[in-house]
Amino acid sequence: MYIESKLIEVNETLFSQDFSHDRAPTLIKEEVNIQSYSWLQARCKIQVSKGLFIVETFFENEKDITDIFSVSGEYIQISYLGQGDSHLISVKGKKPIGMGRINCCYNRDTVSTIEMPANIPTHYQAVYLSKEYYLELLKNETWVAESSFHKHIVQGDFQEWGACNFPIDYSLYHILSEITKKDWDSDFKKYFLELRLKELFLSLHFCQHKLYSGVGKGITEENLEKIRTAHAYLIENFKNPPTIKSLAREVLLNELQLKKDFKKMYGKTIRSFIIDLRMKKAKSLLGKYTVTEMAAILGYKSVPHFIDTFKKHYGYTPKQGLNQ
């Protein structure tokens, strides 16, 4: 199997990797930077091993840029656009990739054209697995029998990009971030990574089930999609959250309806949801950073305000939490 990303306007290959079954099973990590152009910066972190390819990429471009993305062989793809306004180009026209959404597909031998407009930073994360790797990874997981996506893969029924997609939730966001960013201890990283991949597919299954089970009862179908998009946008931007006004403008919904339907959908206000996200992240930072550093990472301008919020949320201060 082979994967390649080529930037047309600068005739640069961002990455070109073989993740076939002939290569060594060890996990190889690489970082790629393109900074030789005044109008373009691209940073890419890659992890690759036998049957597995993981990538996280950031683009900052002052001109439109086109990425020709090629994958050979039969593969499963899980991808997430955290920031940007990218479009998938085909003979049928332009199709927005959708910021804040998880896309799952099962396909083979594809060449995709992705356009990224000028002056809109792009951040995406993606995991590619060979069919053999995927089936081996989940062969002992009893829950997969209930997964419609898994059934398509077992039956060889290809699911094109976009056939399975939904707004990300915090669980998926956290797992995907760990998979793409975590620097595991070299002796154990393969095992931890496989556990996180299993957790990723299980969480995807739960999200699909929730999506189809009528969670948004009492909200119009049109507004339901906008509320889920707002939810996903907050997950990506909780460290520097938007105002209600700007969030409403982002999802094309009036402020009152946004606040009302968000609480109906998720059982809490937007402000409470942002605090919950910040506190979940804060707990994961304990012991790794000072309290001042944690406050800065989470977007708090006042350290005492951060400490007070943490204590109200957990019943103890960050410093006390280190001893728990």
One-character DSSP codes across 227-287 = HHHHHHHHHHHTTSPPPHHHHHHHHT--HHHHHHHHHHHHSS-HHHHHHHHHHHHHHHHBT
Confidence at residue 222, expressed as pLDDT on a 0 to 100 scale: 83
Angle of the 189-212 helix axis to the 170-181 helix axis, nearest 10 = 160
Q: CA torsion, points 190, 196, 202, 204, in degrees to nearest 10?
A: -120
State the average pLDDT over residues 32-52: 92
pLDDT digits (tens, 9 = 90+) for 2-13: 999 999 999 999
Q: Higher-confidence residue: 186 or 68?
A: 68
Tokens 């906008």, residue located: 226
pLDDT at res. 162: 79
- Helix, strand or coil for residue 70? strand
Pair 66, 115: CB distance under 8 Å? yes
Instruction: Give the residue with greater pLDDT, 19 vs 276.
Output: 276
DSSP letter string, 204-226: HHHHHHHHHTTTTTTS-HHHHHH
Distance between CA 322 and CA 324 in Å, rounded?
6
pTM of the model: 0.83
Mean pLDDT over each residue of the chain, to the nearest integer:
89
Longest dimension (CA), the chain: 59
Please report the pLDDT score of residue 138 as a whole number: 95
pLDDT higher than threshold 80 for residue 190: no
Q: Does residue 16 carry a pLDDT above 90?
A: yes
301-313 confidence digits (pLDDT tens): 999 999 999 999 9
Greater confidence, 35 or 258?
Answer: 258
Query: Among candidates 96, 106, 117, which has minimal Cα distance to 150?
Result: 106
Confidence of residue 107 (pLDDT cuts 50, 70, 90): very high
pLDDT(208) > 80? no
As a whole number of angstroms, the distance between CA 218 and CA 253 comes to: 16
pLDDT number for residue 304: 94
Give the residue from 302, 298, 272, 299 showing the smallest Cα distance to 286.
Answer: 298
pLDDT at 186: 59
Residue 21, pLDDT > 70, answer no
Closest CA to 115 of 72, 59, 34: 59
Residue 214 confidence (pLDDT) above 60? no
211 has pLDDT over 70: no
Split at pLDDT 50, 70, 90, the class of 124 is very high
**pLDDT in the model for residue 265:** 87
Q: How confident is the model at residue 114 (pLDDT cuts 50, 70, 90)?
A: very high
pLDDT at 157 over 90: yes
Closest alpha carbon to 193 in 4, 29, 12: 29
Question: What confidence tier does 141 reach under pLDDT thresholds 50, 70, 90?
Answer: very high
Q: Which of 315, 5, 286, 29 is nearest to 181 (CA)?
A: 29
Residue 204 — very low, low, confident or very high, per pLDDT cuts 50/70/90? confident
* Whether residue 166 has pLDDT greater than 90: no
pLDDT at residue 1, rounded to an integer: 86
- Which pLDDT band, with edges at 50, 70 and 90, does 170 fall under? confident
Going by pLDDT thresholds of 50, 70 and 90, the confidence category of residue 248 is very high
Q: Are 230 and 253 spatial neighbours (Cβ–Cβ below 8 Å)?
A: yes
Instruction: Quote the CA–CA distance of 156 and 136 in Å, as a whole number.
Output: 16
Mean pLDDT of 231-246: 91
Of the candidates 110, 131, 17, 121, the residue with the CA atom closest to the CA atom of residue 59: 121
Structure tokens at 33: 């930077």
Paired with 130 in beta bridges are 75
